[in-house]
Amino acid sequence: MAQKVVLYEEDQTNPNGTQFIGSAVWRTERVAPGPGQKPDVVVRAEIEIPEQKVSVRLSLRRNDDSSFSKPYGRDRIYVAAGLLPRRYLEYSSMLMKQGETTRGVPLNGVAVKVTTNFFLIGLSSVDVDMQRNVQLLKERSWFDIPVVYGDGKRAIIAIEKGTPGERAFTEAFATWDSKAARPGAKHGGFR
């Protein structure tokens, strides 16, 4: 079942911007992070905004690679966003909010432009930040992804989780928490 997405583009003639409606389909997948590694749960959203011919693939996964150290590694949540076909110059953060038009609260982390139209945000694994980020991801119903196009125009992609998104997040966090709670786990789980 598709959930609502709204692309708000900056418009000099309209203080509210121009709005384009789209949809998001949420799901979980079991994906092996690398060769010889056990599969883990990944939350995915396939987002389409037909009028603007924009597609976004949003993935949220946990890093379980013990070779990384905190605060930039193990048990850190990574969010990847691939935005097509428009050229995006900048992606600064991800925000969580209660409703479509409410003000968002930024997740604590570092955003990196990997390639044109592909961004990665590593959420902080400092305990207080991690707890806050996880609480926001679990409790807030909408995501905001602010972007800047190659021509300098700003936009926000607002994405509803809805029941399918809530279900996907519940499944992922339950899996991640149970893995972290097993005997021998080096780090605490997501609370």
Note the pLDDT tens digit of each residue in 106-134: 999 888 777 777 777 888 878 899 899 99
Mean pLDDT of the chain: 81
The amino acid sitting at 117 is N
For residues 48-65, give the mean pLDDT.
Answer: 82
Q: Please state, as a whole number, how many other Cβ atoms lie within 10 Å of the Cβ of residue 134.
A: 20
Total domains present in the chain: 1
Q: Please state, as a whole number, how many other Cβ atoms lie within 10 Å of the Cβ of residue 25.
A: 14
> Does 187 reside within a domain?
no
Question: Range of 154's domain?
Answer: 3-181
pLDDT digits (tens, 9 = 90+) for 7-28: 999 998 998 889 999 999 999 9
> Does 189 reside within a domain?
no
pLDDT digits (tens, 9 = 90+) for 27-46: 999 987 778 778 888 899 99
Calpha distance 152→159 (Å, rounded): 22
The amino acid sitting at 91 is Y
> Does 188 reside within a domain?
no
For residues 102-109, give the mean pLDDT.
Answer: 92
Calpha distance 157→94 (Å, rounded): 10
pLDDT at 82 over 90: no
For residues 48-55, give the mean pLDDT.
Answer: 88
Distances (CA, A) of 13 to 10, 51, 166: 9, 20, 37
> Does 168 reside within a domain?
yes
| Claim: this prediction has a pTM higher than 0.85 | no
